[in-house]
Amino acid sequence: MLGKLFGLINKDKPATTSPRAAIATAPKPAKIPTTSLLDELTHGQSVDSITDADMLHQLVKHSDKLDKKTNRQVRERIHHLKEQEKQQQLQHDMQEKICTRLDTLSRLQHHPLFDSELTHLQQQWQAIAAPDAGIATRVQAATARCLQIKQEAHALKQQLEHAAQEAEQLARQQQALEAERAEQRAMQAEQQTSEQQQKKVQQQQSQADREKHERIQKELSQNMAQQLSQLEAAINNADNKKAREFHDRARDTLKKLDQKNAHAFDGKLHLLSGQLRDLQDWQSFAAMPKLEELCVAMEKMISVELPPLQKADAVRELQLEWRTIKAPADKQAHALWERFKQASDKAWEPCAAHYEKEKQLRAFNLQQRQAICEALEQFFTAQDWGHADWKAVTRILEKARQEFHDFHPVERSEEKNIRARFDTAMTAINHKLLDEQKNNEEKKRQLVETAKSIASMADFDKAAERVRQLQEQWKHIGITRRHEDQKLWQAFQEQTGLVFEKRRAQQQQQQQAQHDNIDRARKLCEQIASLAKLADTELSQSGGEFDRLQAEYKSITDIPEKSQPPLKKQFYAACDAYRQQLAGISERQHQHQLQELARRAQLCSQLEAQASDSAITALQEQWQQQNLPADWERAIDQRRQQAIAAAQDLQQPDYPANEQKRRELCIELEILLDAETPEEDRPLRREYQLRKLQQGLGQAASGNRMALLEQLLVKWHCTGPAPAEMQSRLQARFDVAQKRGGNTASK
């Protein structure tokens, strides 16, 4: 509340305690068992089956001794019975109203609205589902009388229509005769006076005046014809109000016509005037029952329980209906008016009380608005505007505006004055507030200009830091006008956003450069790794390229720290793989030489096994694919020459010597590897071992074992063939021992 902010406003509304609050604060009696009490009061009936209102009211009196469910059932049952009784009463009132109107109608003479009124009442009565027997008898009797009146009126109407037709025919004949005579007299008079007036008219009026007069008369004649048509239509529609209006207009127009033009409309206007008087007589006669009904309705409105505003609308509606009915000027109508007026005043009493309360409320609202204005005025005077809490001032203004609006309505006569006082007090404070807002807006405008100068700095990191400082200063500037603040904030955001955008672009460039360096470093690592996959010949010549790639990798410096460990790992792994491959060139070449020696030995074996010119040719073509050490070359070439010679029948191989040599090689291999020797060669093994001992040769050192194994393998490949069967056995024996030697070497 504004009073809490100012400490000045005291809202002294009358203290009222609602019935619900009074009940809530009243002490509640202790509940007692309700079964015996309920049975005693209801005689064992269930609450939903009770139809005796007195019994239900007895239960309400003892509601403090009943439980909540039973109390609710009792209230609902009472409400249901009241609604049922109300509906029955409304049905009975409706039937009584229809019966009264039929009875009134049956006592009247037939009039133009008689048939439609009777039909309407019959339809209303037929719509009633269960009519009261007594009322139904009265309705039947009244309906019968009305039907009889209707039949009599119909017969009388036919007679009157027939007589009217005859009278109309006679009148037309008489009118035609009179018209003819009048026309003759008029023609004679016109002929007599025309010559006399012709000169006078010509002198008084010019040709333009005559044309203007004729044009005006023509327009008036057209209007007169249209008004008579409207008057006739209104009379046929029984619209008395419009008919009177059109009749008055027609009479005024007729007065403006000259004698010549007015003569054409006199007869029809006279006829329609008579019909209008008849319509007014009938409607005045029919108004009495309606006025009686309005009196009854207004008297019932006295006892009807409605909210004040709804009841006021209902009373005004009945009063409006009374005004729309043209009551006849007689004593009976005046008595009905006095009766209606008295009932209206009585029915209006609750509405008057309500409007009195509203008047008191408007007075209270005016007092509160005056207190708000006084509080604002005192606040303006007492405030130190040099050190004001502007946010609190804004809240006070908003609260004052809201509370001033809440205390509505006030008397119309006071609205303008209190509004002017409030606007004056608010304007005085708003001027102070506006000055502060403009001052703060100027501070923010200076920050915008500073941000523009910062946006042109070359060091984007420093510019971004300076912008953050400006943003912090912006937060501590006081209140501003919302619209101006939005424009300044948008301008400030554009400048600060430009700084951050430039910084972001620079960071993106740096990140892109770092990504490019990472990609470049990875490609260099991949290139070093590809060097390790070169053939030995190319690998041996790739040292310069390896040094260049290393130097290029080490020249890359701008790489994020998180990406450096995996790149270094990849780089060192590629370098280690290259160095290992480079160091293993000689070993691989030696292995290739052994493979080449074994291949050539296989070619020799094929020629030795199947001697032919084609085999010799194949051996010569496939012989040298790779160079061998000189001693290996000589030894294998010697076997080749022996194989070719044997194939050409120039010299047969020395099978026994070769077999003996191969046996010895197997024994040497088995001794070297400490393997078992077959039974038939064990004496030869002992002999070989004894010979070696005599020569002073002991067991081979483990460091020379591989070299000795290689020597034995070279000798085996370069030794000529043994007999085929023995060659196969010795080859298998040598291969088994050699395989064991390979496993031992691996260990």
- pLDDT tens digits, 436-493: 888 888 888 888 888 888 777 777 677 778 878 888 888 888 888 888 888 888 888 7
Q: Residue 648 domain-assigned?
A: yes
Q: What is the mean pLDDT of residues 673-683?
A: 87
Would you say residue 132 lies in a domain?
yes
Tell me the residue length of the chain.
747
- Whether 609 has a pLDDT exceeding 50, the answer reads yes
Would residue 494 count as lying in a domain? no
How many Å separate Cα 522 from the centre of its chain?
51
Per the domain annotation, does 507 fall within a domain?
no
Q: Is residue 99 part of a domain?
A: yes
Question: Domain boundary at 186, 204, 222, which?
Answer: 186
**Which pLDDT band holds residue 5 (cuts at 50, 70, 90)?**
very low
Mean pLDDT for 597-609 is 84
Residue 221: band (very low, low, confident or very high) from pLDDT cuts 50, 70, 90: confident
The overall average pLDDT reported for the chain is 78
Residue 21's pLDDT band (cuts 50, 70, 90): very low
Model pLDDT, residue 329 = 56
Instruction: Quote the Cα angle for 506-508-509, to 5°.
Output: 65
CB crowding 639-661: b at 16 or more within 10 Å, else e? bbebbbebbeeeeebeeeebbeb
C-beta separation of 284 from 328 below 8 A: yes
Report whether pLDDT(373) > 90.
Answer: yes
- Cβ atoms of 375 and 423 within 8 Å: the answer is no
What is the structure's pLDDT at 173? 65
Q: Determine, yes or no, domain membership for 717.
A: yes
666 lies in which domain range?
Answer: 587-746
Q: Domain ends where: 186, 216, 244?
A: 186
Q: How many structural domains is the chain composed of?
A: 2
Position 222 in a domain: no
Among 133, 162, 186, which residue terminates a domain?
186
Q: What would the pLDDT profile of 95-142 be if each residue is shown by its tens digit?
A: 888 888 788 777 766 655 667 778 878 888 888 878 888 888 988 888
Longest dimension (CA), the chain: 197
Please give the Cα distance from 575 to 568 (Å, whole number).
10
Average pLDDT value for residue range 655-674: 87
* CB distance 319 to 312 below 8 Å: no
Helical ranges in 455-481 per DSSP H:
460-475
Establish if 630 belongs to a structural domain.
yes
Q: Is the pTM of this model over 0.85?
A: no
